[in-house]
Amino acid sequence: MNLSVRERDDPEVNLTSLIDVVLLLLIFFMVSTSFVKESQISIRLPQADSSAIVEEVAESIDVMITEQGTYLVNGRELINNKPETIRNALRKISGGNNALPLTISADANARHQFVVTAMDVAGKLGFVQISIATINDPAEQ
């Protein structure tokens, strides 16, 4: 007869079923939760008595360059592509505020010189937030 003492094994707690129940409860509460739709207040805005045109200083400046080298500043075409014309247009649009962000977007077939000219004029006027706009190639996505 073997009377040796056996070591007692610690009982294991299987958490798999507990995790399943918790996930099912989570899904149940997510599905059954109703979201409160906030009520909207209807307001009646006043109308202006005068139709005076007020020139606003733009919040950002967009310079677009076409393939032929035509410059458009905030959608308005410039009469020529001389640096002096670009400088005057940027001064007028910015109202002297050089802290405005300036975005340059050029046609893919535009000469690089047109972009460099726009960047040079903007830099000489003191613009420091100059960005060049690009588009993502749809073939890469």
105-130 pLDDT, tens per residue? Answer: 888 888 889 989 999 999 999 998 88
pLDDT of residue 133 exceeding 70: yes
88 CB neighbour count, 10 Å cutoff: 14
Residue with tokens 């050089």: 98
Domain architecture of the chain: domains with CATH = 61-132 (3.30.420.270)
Sheet with 102-106: list strands edge to edge. 76-77, 71-73, 61-65, 102-106, 130-132
* Model confidence band, residue 85 (pLDDT cutoffs 50, 70, 90): very high
pLDDT digits (tens, 9 = 90+) for 42-61: 656 566 666 665 555 558 89
Token duo for residue 83:
């640096």
Give the three-state DSSP class for 132.
strand
Decide: pTM greater than 0.75: no
Residue with tokens 């307001």: 43
So what's the pLDDT on residue 119?
A: 92
Q: Which residue has the higher pLDDT, 56 or 20?
A: 20
